[in-house]
């Protein structure tokens, strides 16, 4: 079964206006059996988005429209492809209760979702670590070293994996090495092998799935899959369910680099 389980939509405030139909028709033409739309969920109540345009998640006022639209599309394309309604939910330290409340309200409408870490908390404020190279570099300077940023990222990721977010907690953990997005802009190579292995072991222990995310291959300072190929192989050895995700924010990026990793799935 060919599945792309990480796809964004015209509801993404930092994406494109490419229609659902463009994504779906391309998936059908590419021979995919099932796709999951995983738009960035509204950020938790009380959280202030640190990005300049405050566009990291969809507006709460658009959420019901998003769900309703996908319900219609499922019926429209039911003979051609399986479409799942999902969200990419941000795990944000300190907002676990609000995230749980959100999932308790809307989780029953979701088929398949992702839990991701984009925001790191340090000294009572938050940074979106994948927003830009300059933001990442400034955060490295603030914490004192790239290793300190990596350690904080992996600690937050472990917290997301082990967190009790209720019955509707997403089953798939998103792009577990997103902290690598700007790795080639650093003057040193960070040794994080043990951290990644520990992440995979905890995903296995919690019986969760792994987002095998090829978007990093298109990022000029990353140039690798999230996670890198050796860890995809390790995840498979650990019998962690692997789900390909192109993390497309525009139709032309749908299924990007699928052929690079399809033999590992």
**In this predicted structure, what is the pLDDT of residue 67?**
98
Average of per-residue pLDDT across 229-250? 98
Banded model confidence at residue 14, pLDDT cuts 50, 70, 90: very high
Render pLDDT for 51-79 as a digit per residue (tens, 0 to 9).
999 999 999 999 999 999 999 999 999 99
**In this predicted structure, what is the pLDDT of residue 88?**
98
Banded model confidence at residue 117, pLDDT cuts 50, 70, 90: very high
**In this predicted structure, what is the pLDDT of residue 56?**
97
**In this predicted structure, what is the pLDDT of residue 227?**
98
Render pLDDT for 36-48 as a digit per residue (tens, 0 to 9).
999 999 999 999 9
Percentage with pLDDT > 90 across the chain: 100
**In this predicted structure, what is the pLDDT of residue 149?**
98
**In this predicted structure, what is the pLDDT of residue 118?**
98
Rounded Cα distance between 243 and 252, Å, is 20
pTM for this model (two decimals): 0.97
Cβ-contact 71, 157 below 8 angstroms: no
Cβ-based neighbour number of residue 259 at 10 Å: 9
């Amino acid at each position: 079964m060919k599945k792309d389980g990480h796809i964004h939509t015209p509801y993404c405030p930092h994406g494109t206006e490419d229609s659902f139909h463009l994504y779906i028709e391309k998936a059908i033409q590419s021979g995919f059996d099932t796709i999951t739309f995983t738009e960035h969920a509204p950020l938790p109540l009380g959280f202030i988005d640190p990005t300049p345009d405050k566009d990291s998640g969809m507006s709460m006022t658009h959420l019901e429209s998003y769900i309703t639209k996908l319900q219609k599309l499922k019926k429209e394309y039911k003979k051609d492809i399986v479409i799942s309604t999902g969200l990419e939910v941000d795990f944000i330290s300190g907002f676990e209760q609000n995230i749980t409340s959100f999932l308790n309200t809307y989780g029953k409408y979701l088929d398949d979702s992702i839990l991701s870490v984009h925001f790191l908390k340090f000294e009572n404020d938050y940074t979106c670590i994948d927003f830009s190279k300059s933001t990442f570099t400034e955060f490295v300077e603030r914490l004192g070293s790239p290793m300190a940023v990596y350690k904080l990222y992996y600690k937050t990721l472990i917290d997301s994996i082990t967190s009790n977010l209720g019955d509707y907690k997403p089953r798939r953990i998103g792009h577990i090495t997103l902290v690598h997005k700007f790795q080639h802009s650093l003057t040193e190579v960070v040794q994080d092998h043990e951290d990644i292995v520990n992440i995979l072991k905890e995903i296995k222990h919690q019986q969760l799935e792994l987002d095998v995310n090829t978007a990093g291959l298109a990022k000029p300072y990353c140039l690798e899959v999230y996670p890198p190929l050796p860890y995809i192989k390790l995840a498979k050895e650990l019998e962690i369910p692997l789900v390909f995700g192109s993390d497309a924010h525009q139709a032309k990026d749908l299924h990007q680099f699928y052929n690079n990793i399809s033999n590992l799935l």
